[in-house]
Amino acid sequence: MIVTLASVKGGVGKSTCAIHIAAYLRSLSSTLLIDSDRIRSCVAWSKRGKLPFPVVDENHQAKAMRDTRYEYVVFDTPGSIDDQGLMELADGCDLMIVPAVPESSATDGLLYTLRRIQRGKGEFGVLLNRVRHNRPQEATELREAIAETGARVFTTEIPDLVAFDKASAQGVPVYDVDDRRAARAWEAFEALGKEITNG
């Protein structure tokens, strides 16, 4: 199964989600993360610490995939991709995940993009990320607005937690971070992983 993380907007959590989706999938079977962003956030994450799956950039993906057959491939993409690019990315994978942070200023652009990429053949779903527990209404409103476009929104929401920043700084998955909300952070990705793999 090939899972691609992509968005028109930068900084919405593609790399953070790619790392944790790969960590979940690795608990099921062999998993490779391909970092195709020139900034190489995922490669850097893995070099800072230790991840339970290999991370390679796109220049090394062919070799990595020749040497091992991976059941799951997670593909992280650059910060800004136009609607046509997103459509092509969705077509090239089994499931494209578009993280979106609930904040009203960005909603119109997101809805426009979702309507455009729905014209393509690829399967995709929107993942609400950085959901603040004290502002649940923001996520509900965004969920409803996305549902009106007909696009899929994953039931699981990823909470806004500093544990994710710590995980990045330490180069580990969030379950290895010493933080009182680390377990909560990981539970969200376990729930998302189940949603993804159950179809």
Ligand X SMILES: Nc1ncnc2c1ncn2[C@@H]1O[C@H](COP(=O)(O)OP(=O)(O)OP(=O)(O)O)[C@@H](O)[C@H]1O
Query: Which is nearer to Mg ion, 15 or 168 (by Cβ)?
Result: 15
User: Shortest approach of Mg ion to residue 134 CB, angstroms?
Assistant: 26
Residue 36 contacts Mg ion per CB under 5 A:
no
Q: Are 65 and 98 in contact (CB under 8 A)?
A: no
Residues 6+ apart with CB under 8 A from 118: 149, 150, 151
Residue 124 CA to residue 197 CA, distance in Å, equals 14
Query: Which is nearer to Mg ion, 39 or 147 (by Cβ)?
Result: 39
Q: Which two tokens stand for residue 8?
A: 């028109």
Strand ranges of the sheet holding 55-57, from the earlier edge strand across to the other edge: 55-57, 31-35, 72-76, 2-5, 95-100, 124-131, 152-159
The amino acid that residue 77 corresponds to is T
Which option in Mg ion, ligand X, none does residue 13 bind, with CB closer than 5 to 8 A by kind?
Answer: ligand X
The amino acid that residue 178 corresponds to is D
Q: Which stretch binds Mg ion (CB under 5 A): 36-44, 66-74, 144-152, 174-182?
A: 36-44
Residue nearest to Mg ion (CB): 15
Residue 64 CA to residue 79 CA, distance in Å, equals 24
Residue 15 contacts Mg ion per CB under 5 A:
yes
Residues that bind ligand X (CB under 6 A): 10-16, 37, 41, 79, 129-130, 158, 160-161, 164-165, 168
Instruction: Give the three-state DSSP class for 77.
Output: coil
Q: Are 21 and 173 in contact (CB under 8 A)?
A: no
Residue 168 contacts Mg ion per CB under 5 A:
no
Q: How many CB atoms lie within 10 A of CB 12?
A: 23
Residue 129 contacts Mg ion per CB under 5 A:
no
Of 41, 46, 129, 168, the one binding Mg ion by CB under 5 A: 41
Q: Which stretch binds Mg ion (CB under 5 A): 6-14, 67-75, 86-94, 103-111?
A: 6-14
User: Shortest approach of ligand X to residue 162 CB, angstroms?
Assistant: 6
Please report, as ranges, the residues that interact with Mg ion according to CB under 5 A.
14-15, 41
